[in-house]
């Protein structure tokens, strides 16, 4: 018995020894790392001036979970736009902090009339060249824009619907001259704003075509770049980071930061830790609680920027009881806006109109304050019974202003309960939520919206024009009057008249539209104190210009 057991267990012992041997092999270095890891931070390699070191590397941490594409024709979310805006350039653009449109790839442009069309002629800068060293030509512009229209991905509606741009109405007259024809219903200044957006970025035709594959090079552009911007794409490590290197052939001023690492950091607590430890040079979207902790830390500067986004609740205008405008009005009167803003501790401003602060046409008027009596009256008038249930979709994670979406939704749920409405919350990842929302299948939807270009029309069309298949469409609000008013306002050339038109539209949407506008958030950045030249300009693409940043 013993003999047998011994023989049998001999093999186990062997296996055990093997395991222990492997363990010992791993254990030895494992034991050392604790101390060595910390020392390696200080041991920066001595480097030549153009070599990449920690000193000329910028580490930018933010929640980049929504990053799905680095193709200018596809990217339509913060992370993607920020990367595309750093790698590619548009014909015209904005300078940080300046609302006046500026030359970029186009050194000048003319606007003329041709019958019932506008004709815009862009004269390209002859010095502009791609990272490959080849010049940027009108043919490249034509290819890039046609490509965006053909691919027809998320941002394409800015061309096809908002600008009513067709491939037939674009032409490369010669290498330096690019011509676009637009219907009169589209205002040229609005169009110039639109083409400052990443969708209109110019890619190098020869390079993209050589790698077209079966998706016009879309997947190739996720790992490579073909632009003329200050940076080129080094690597996109999916769901981890995007690394950009300075473009050695850049035709503008060479950026001080030779490398930019955009680190995906979804948790607020980790963002806070990243800036405290110096693991990151810049962190984006700190919450109010993180701001409180970081205030007074001498190593960190806090920079707040007025975001152009708006947090709102979309109410599907065909879903009972939300199809009754009185019910939507009742909901607007049920919410305690003061407490909402208090929750955000200065990370938000109360805005109850779809044109954000800082945009032409913003009125600054907030007609709604909590009025339980009035709200109940409206509900009674609409015949809505006490305890009526409304399904609401809420994104997972942190919302604008650094408050958890679920917290925000629970607050609203609590307010609505006071007038007898039961909000059933369902949390969804924002991508999934958008899928349902875009399919017009939402009922009440918590979301935020940021204009794609700095013109009131950037919000007016999505919020009011059902045909644009954006917000009004998602909420199934097909209102002929609103559509007509927004079209008229967009086409109006006289700024004073335009402001007047938007004021009327704003008031109309405030009381008839399918929205409860909640607030305009402030985006708070944490910067290490040695970081300079940081400017946040939400209307610009990209909103942070990495090329301007320096470090001491």
Partner 1 sequence: MELSAPRGFDLWRRLRHEPTAAFGLAILLIFIPLALCAPLISPYDPLFQNISASLTPPSADYWLGTDKLGRDLLSRMLYGARISLWVGTAVVLSAGMIGTLAGLLAGYLRGWVDEVLMRVTDIFFAFPSLILAMAIAGALGPSLRNALIALVVVTWPVYARLIRGQVLSLREQEFVSAARASGSQHRRIILRHLLPNTLAPLLVQASFDVGTTILSVAGLSFIGFGAQPPLPEWGVMISEGRNYITTQWWLTGVPAMGILLLVAAFNLFGDGLRDILDPRLRR
Partner 2 sequence: MTRFIIRRLAGLIFVMLGVSTMTFMLAQLVPVDPAANALGQNARPEQIEAYRTKMGLDRPVVEQYLTYLRRLLSGDLGESIRTRRAVLLDLRDYLPATIELAMASLVVSLLVGIPLGMWAAINRNQWNDGFARVLALLGGSLPVFYVGLLLLGLFYRQLQWLPGPGRLDSTLNPPADITGLFTVDSLLTGNWPVFQNSLAHLILPAITLGAFSTAVLVRMTRSAMLEVLAQDYVRTANAKGLSYRTVVWRHVLKNAMPPVLTTIGIIFGSLLSGAVLTETIFNWPGLGRYATTSVTSLDFPAVMGVTLVAAFIYPLVNTIVDIGYRFIDPRIQSE
Residues 247-276 that bind partner 1 (CB under 8 A): 267-269, 272
CA distance 45 to 54: 9
Residue 342 interacting entry, from partner 2, partner 1, none, C-beta within 5 to 8 Å by type: partner 1
413 sits near partner 1 (criterion: CB under 8 A): yes
Distances (CA, A) of 379 to 155, 326, 334, 376, 385: 38, 7, 10, 5, 8
Nearer to partner 1, 292 or 484 (CB): 292
403 sits near partner 1 (criterion: CB under 8 A): yes
Structure tokens at 161: 């619907």
Residue 526's beta-bridge partner residues? 283, 302
Distances (CA, A) of 127 to 124, 171, 247, 252: 9, 21, 15, 9
Q: How far is the CB of 394 from partner 1 (least distance, A)?
A: 8
Q: How far is the CB of 535 from partner 2 (least distance, A)?
A: 22
Q: What 8-state DSSP symbol labels residue 134?
A: P
Q: How far is the CB of 284 from partner 1 (least distance, A)?
A: 15
Residue 409 interacting entry, from partner 1, partner 2, none, C-beta within 5 to 8 Å by type: partner 1
Residue 206 interacting entry, from partner 1, partner 2, none, C-beta within 5 to 8 Å by type: none
Instruction: Return the residues of window 421-460 that contact partner 1 according to CB under 8 A.
Output: 425-429
Per DSSP, the three-state class of 515 is strand
Residue 411 interacting entry, from partner 1, partner 2, none, C-beta within 5 to 8 Å by type: partner 1
Helix axis angle, 457-464 to 495-512, nearest 10°: 30
Sequence-separated (6 or more) residues with CB below 8 Å from residue 342: none
Alpha helices in 53-114 (DSSP H): 78-87
Alpha helices in 43-178 (DSSP H): 78-87, 138-151, 157
Q: Cβ atoms within 10 A of the Cβ of 93, count?
A: 22
Instruction: Return the residues of window 317-346 that contact partner 1 according to CB under 8 A.
Output: 339, 342-343
Residue among 41, 237, 292, 467 that touches partner 1 (CB under 8 A): 292
Residue among 13, 293, 385, 422 that touches partner 1 (CB under 8 A): 293
DSSP string, 276-303: HHTS-SEE----HHHHHHHTT-TTEEEE
Residue 19 interacting entry, from partner 2, partner 1, none, C-beta within 5 to 8 Å by type: partner 2
Residue 166 interacting entry, from partner 2, partner 1, none, C-beta within 5 to 8 Å by type: none
Residue 153 interacting entry, from partner 1, partner 2, none, C-beta within 5 to 8 Å by type: partner 2
287 sits near partner 1 (criterion: CB under 8 A): yes
Residue 263 interacting entry, from partner 2, partner 1, none, C-beta within 5 to 8 Å by type: partner 2
Nearer to partner 1, 245 or 272 (CB): 272
The residue behind tokens 């408050």 is 403
Q: How far is the CB of 438 from partner 2 (least distance, A)?
A: 4
Q: Are strands 106-114 and 101-103 parallel, antiparallel or unpaired?
A: unpaired
DSSP string, 15-26: HHHHHHHHHHHH
Residue among 52, 101, 172, 410 that touches partner 1 (CB under 8 A): 410
| Binding window for partner 1 (CB under 8 A); candidates: 168-176, 239-247, 317-325, 405-413 | 405-413
Nearer to partner 1, 33 or 407 (CB): 407
Q: What number of chain residues touch partner 1 (CB under 8 A)?
A: 29
Q: How far is the CB of 37 from partner 2 (least distance, A)?
A: 4
Q: How far is the CB of 422 from partner 1 (least distance, A)?
A: 11
Instruction: Provide the sign of the torsion angle of the four alpha carbons 115, 140, 96, 162, taken in this order.
Output: positive
Q: Are strands 282-283 and 515-528 parallel, antiparallel or unpaired?
A: antiparallel
Pick from 525, 94, 50, 82: which is nearest to 256 by CA? 50
Residue 407 interacting entry, from partner 1, partner 2, none, C-beta within 5 to 8 Å by type: partner 1
Residue 462's beta-bridge partner residues? none
CA end-to-end span of the chain: 76
Q: How far is the CB of 464 from partner 2 (least distance, A)?
A: 18
Per DSSP, the three-state class of 405 is helix
Per DSSP, the three-state class of 243 is strand
Q: How far is the CB of 24 from partner 2 (least distance, A)?
A: 10
Give yes or no for a contact between 204 and 88, defined as CB atoms under 8 angstroms apart: no
Cis upstream peptide for 431 (omega within 30°) = no
Residue 264 interacting entry, from partner 2, partner 1, none, C-beta within 5 to 8 Å by type: partner 2
Pick from 301, 308, 256, 255: which is nearest to 537 by CA? 308
- CA 470, distance to chain mean position in Å, is 16
Nearer to partner 2, 77 or 353 (CB): 77
350 sits near partner 1 (criterion: CB under 8 A): no
CA distance 139 to 178: 8
Nearer to partner 2, 183 or 266 (CB): 266
9 sits near partner 1 (criterion: CB under 8 A): no
CA distance 522 to 459: 18
| Binding window for partner 1 (CB under 8 A); candidates: 87-95, 399-407, 437-445, 540-548 | 399-407
Residue 115 interacting entry, from partner 2, partner 1, none, C-beta within 5 to 8 Å by type: none
Residue among 33, 414, 431, 435 that touches partner 1 (CB under 8 A): 414
The residue behind tokens 């309960």 is 417
Nearer to partner 2, 58 or 348 (CB): 58
Residue 2 interacting entry, from partner 1, partner 2, none, C-beta within 5 to 8 Å by type: partner 2
Per CB under 8 A, residues contacting partner 1 are 267-269, 272, 287, 289-290, 292-293, 339, 342-343, 394, 396, 398, 403-404, 406-407, 409-411, 413-414, 425-429
């Amino acid at each position: 018995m013993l003999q047998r057991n011994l023989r049998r267990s001999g093999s186990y012992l062997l296996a055990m020894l093997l395991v222990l041997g492997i363990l010992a092999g791993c254990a030895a270095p494992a034991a050392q790392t604790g101390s060595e890891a910390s020392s390696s931070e200080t041991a920066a390699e001595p480097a030549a001036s153009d070599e990449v070191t920690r000193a000329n590397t910028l580490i930018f941490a933010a929640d980049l979970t929504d990053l799905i594409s680095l193709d200018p024709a596809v990217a339509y979310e913060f992370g993607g736009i920020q990367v595309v805006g750093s790698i590619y350039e548009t014909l015209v653009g904005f300078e940080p902090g300046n609302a006046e449109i500026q030359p970029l790839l186009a050194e000048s442009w003319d606007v003329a009339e041709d019958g019932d069309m506008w004709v815009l002629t862009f004269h390209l800068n002859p010095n502009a060249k791609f990272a490959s060293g080849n010049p940027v030509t009108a043919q490249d512009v034509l290819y890039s824009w046609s490509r965006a229209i053909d691919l027809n991905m998320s941002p394409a509606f800015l061309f096809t619907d908002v600008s009513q741009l067709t491939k037939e109405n674009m032409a490369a007259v010669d290498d330096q001259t690019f011509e676009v024809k637009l219907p009169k219903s589209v205002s040229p200044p609005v169009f110039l704003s639109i083409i400052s957006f990443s969708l209109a970025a110019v890619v190098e035709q020869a390079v993209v075509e050589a790698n077209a594959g079966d998706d016009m090079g879309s997947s190739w552009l996720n790992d490579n770049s073909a632009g003329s911007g200050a940076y080129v794409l080094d690597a996109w490590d999916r769901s981890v980071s995007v690394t950009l290197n300075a473009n050695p052939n850049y035709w503008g001023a060479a950026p001080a930061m030779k490398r930019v690492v955009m680190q995906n950091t979804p948790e607020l607590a980790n963002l806070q830790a990243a800036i405290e430890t110096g693991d990151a040079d810049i962190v984006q979207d700190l919450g109010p609680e993180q701001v409180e902790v970081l205030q007074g830390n001498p190593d960190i500067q806090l920079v707040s920027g007025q975001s152009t986004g708006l947090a709102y609740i979309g109410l599907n205008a065909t879903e009972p009881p939300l199809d009754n405008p009185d019910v939507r009005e009742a909901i607007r009167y049920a919410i305690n806006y003061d407490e909402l803003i208090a929750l955000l501790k200065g990370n938000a401003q109360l805005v109850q109109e779809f044109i954000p602060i800082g945009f032409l046409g913003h009125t600054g008027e907030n007609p709604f304050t909590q009025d339980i009596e009035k709200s109940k009256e409206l509900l009674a008038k609409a015949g809505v019974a006490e305890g009526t249930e409304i399904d609401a979709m809420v994104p997972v994670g942190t919302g604008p202003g650094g408050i958890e979406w679920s917290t925000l939704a629970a607050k609203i749920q609590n307010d609505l309960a006071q007038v007898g409405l039961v909000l059933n919350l369902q949390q969804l990842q924002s991508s999934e939520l958008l899928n349902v929302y875009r399919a017009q299948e939402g009922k009440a939807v918590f979301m935020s919206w940021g204009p794609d270009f700095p013109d009131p029309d950037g919000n007016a069309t999505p919020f009011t024009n059902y045909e644009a298949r954006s917000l009004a469409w998602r909420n199934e609000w097909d209102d002929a009057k609103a559509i007509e008013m927004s079209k008229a306002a967009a086409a109006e050339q006289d700024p004073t008249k335009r402001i007047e038109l938007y004021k009327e539209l704003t008031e109309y949407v405030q009381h008839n539209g399918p929205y409860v506008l909640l607030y305009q958030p402030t985006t708070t950045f944490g910067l290490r104190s040695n970081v300079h030249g940081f400017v946040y300009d939400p209307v610009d693409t990209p909103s942070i210009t990495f090329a301007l940043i320096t470090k001491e």
